[in-house]
């Protein structure tokens, strides 16, 4: 059987189409488990009789433990992608079950952190699986399709979960996600065959052996720096845009909720643009285009943001360009270290997570110093740094013949 035929089969068991459909369901669950606490944090604080800051502290902890994802990639390359997929869904189910039966705040905190680890374990494995089994010429389309689960969690799953919570209480959401996570755990074994991870058939790479290559291999390092800078820029704006809207336009909670829907729509359209354009343009060219448009959108934001509709349009453009660029980068990242794809993706997610944490801290300070102009201007400069890092890392890079 040819290598291309093996790729089309997706490594055995189900067809590649069935596997991608299953992955969409799994990613929707994991993204919902990670994101649904944000809008329902006040209700959660009331349920457990704690201050809202206690819930936000859990969310900050979940972001911090994202750094552990750096080690999940090498585990996937060593022990197989299916094993880590099941591990991620098992952590989601277990964490949500712990939240459902929690009788105190600390059990809730442990449960949410465990569930958050599920996404950290799952994501590098599935991106690496796609990198291994989908031809590079079509990879942008497939990864863009899978990433629609990110916007889908905001636009579909979380509102649906809100209806469940309103009818049956907060605990019902935990029970539902725990049940669906367990169903997902069972489905992985049905849809995906056992695999050898990043190694060649019959060979498993030494555990953590590829980690040093993330900084020793110029294309990989350039991509990590890109991920750090653009994530820093975007979260620096994301953390203050609500304060900007309240101060400049005297908006209420309902308007801020609508703006969150606008961001979710921008993310969905950015992912759709990835599906349509990345494979045609080439991943590198698409990323350069997206970064240039993002820099322009950041710089335009304080200029047009004199009225609420224009400010929301500018915000929409920023998140559209960011999502298009970041999803295109996944397609390219899966090809930089073909023998250690999960390690590469785990490193990317971890460094991008560091960028988001720094962006949250930097954004607040910049807002106090110079308002939206300082935040947006800095975001444009940082995005430019991400572009330079990308061009430096991929200078003279050619796709390895291995894939």
> Rounded to whole angstroms, how far apart are CA atoms 92 and 112?
9
Q: Are residues 374 and 261 located together in one domain of the fold?
A: yes
The stretch 102-130 carries a mean pLDDT of 92
Look at residue 309 and tell me whether its pLDDT is greater than 50. Answer: yes
Residue 357 belongs to domain with CATH number: 1.20.1250.20
Give residue 84's domain range. Answer: 11-191
- Work out how many domains the chain is built from and give that number: 2
Cβ partners under 8 Å of residue 231, min gap 6:
326, 352, 353, 355, 356, 359
**Residue 344 to residue 70: CA distance in whole angstroms:** 9
Q: 227 and 346, same structural domain?
A: yes
- Residue 201's region, left for phi above 0, alpha for psi from -120 to 50, else beta, is beta
Alpha helices in 282-340 (DSSP H): 283-304, 308-333
**240 and 360 share one domain:** yes
Q: Which helix (H) or strand (E) holds 206?
A: none
Structure-token pair, residue 122: 């799952």
Residues 261-294: pLDDT tens digits? 888 899 999 999 999 999 999 999 999 999 999 9
Q: Report helix, strand or coil for 275.
A: helix
Q: Is 27 part of a structural domain of the chain?
A: yes
Q: How far is CA 198 from CA 187, 253, 270, in A?
A: 22, 47, 29
| Within a domain: 128 | yes
Establish if 199 belongs to a structural domain: no
CA distances from 36 to 94, 99, 257 (A): 17, 13, 14
202 lies in a domain?
no
pLDDT bracket for residue 9 (50, 70, 90): very low
* CA gap 72, 56 in Å, rounded: 25
| Same-domain check for residues 184 and 250 | no
Q: Look at residue 257 in the predicted model and tell me its pLDDT.
A: 64
- State the average pLDDT over residues 207-226: 87
Percent of the chain's residues with pLDDT above 90? 50
Q: What is the pLDDT of residue 5?
A: 45
Residues 236, 180: one domain?
A: no
| More confident call, 186 vs 242 | 186
State the CB neighbour count (10 A cutoff) for residue 115.
28
Reported pTM: 0.83
């Amino acid at each position: 059987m040819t290598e291309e035929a093996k790729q089309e089969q997706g490594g055995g068991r189900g067809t590649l189409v069935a596997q991608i459909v299953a992955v969409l369901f799994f990613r929707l669950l994991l993204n919902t488990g990670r994101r649904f606490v944000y809008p329902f944090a006040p209700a959660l604080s009331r349920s457990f009789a704690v201050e809202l800051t206690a819930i936000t502290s859990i969310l900050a902890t979940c972001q911090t433990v994202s750094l552990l994802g750096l080690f999940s990639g090498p585990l996937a390359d060593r022990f197989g992608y299916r094993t880590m997929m099941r591990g991620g869904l098992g952590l989601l189910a277990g964490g949500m079950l712990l939240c459902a039966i929690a009788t105190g705040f600390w059990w809730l905190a442990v449960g949410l952190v465990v569930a958050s680890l599920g996404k950290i374990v799952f994501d590098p494995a599935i991106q690496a699986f796609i990198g291994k089994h989908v031809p590079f010429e079509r990879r942008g389309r497939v990864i863009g399709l899978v990433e629609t689960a990110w916007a889908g969690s905001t636009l579909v799953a979380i509102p649906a979960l809100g209806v469940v919570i309103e009818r049956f209480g907060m605990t019902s959401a935990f029970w539902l996600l725990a049940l669906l996570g367990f169903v997902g755990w069972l489905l992985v074994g049905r849809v995906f065959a056992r695999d050898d991870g990043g190694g060649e058939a019959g060979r498993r790479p030494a555990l953590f052996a590829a980690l040093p290559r993330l900084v020793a291999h110029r294309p990989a390092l350039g991509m990590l720096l890109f991920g750090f800078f653009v994530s820093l820029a975007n979260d620096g704006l994301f953390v203050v845009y609500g304060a900007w809207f309240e101060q400049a336009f005297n908006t209420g909670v309902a308007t801020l909720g609508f703006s969150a829907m606008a961001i979710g729509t921008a993310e969905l359209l950015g992912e759709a643009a990835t599906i349509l354009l990345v494979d045609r343009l080439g991943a590198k060219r698409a990323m350069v285009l997206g970064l240039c448009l993002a820099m322009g959108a950041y710089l335009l934001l304080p200029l047009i943001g004199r009225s609420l509709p224009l400010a929301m349009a500018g915000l929409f453009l920023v998140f559209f360009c960011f999502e298009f660029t970041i999803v295109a980068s996944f397609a390219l990242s899966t090809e930089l270290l073909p023998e250690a794809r999960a390690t590469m993706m785990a490193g990317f997610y971890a460094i991008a997570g560091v960028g988001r944490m720094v962006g949250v801290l930097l954004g607040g300070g910049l807002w106090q110093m110079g308002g939206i102009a300082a935040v947006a201007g800095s975001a444009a400069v940082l995005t430019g740094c991400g572009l330079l890092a990308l061009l430096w890392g991929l200078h003279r890079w050619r796709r390895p013949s291995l894939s």
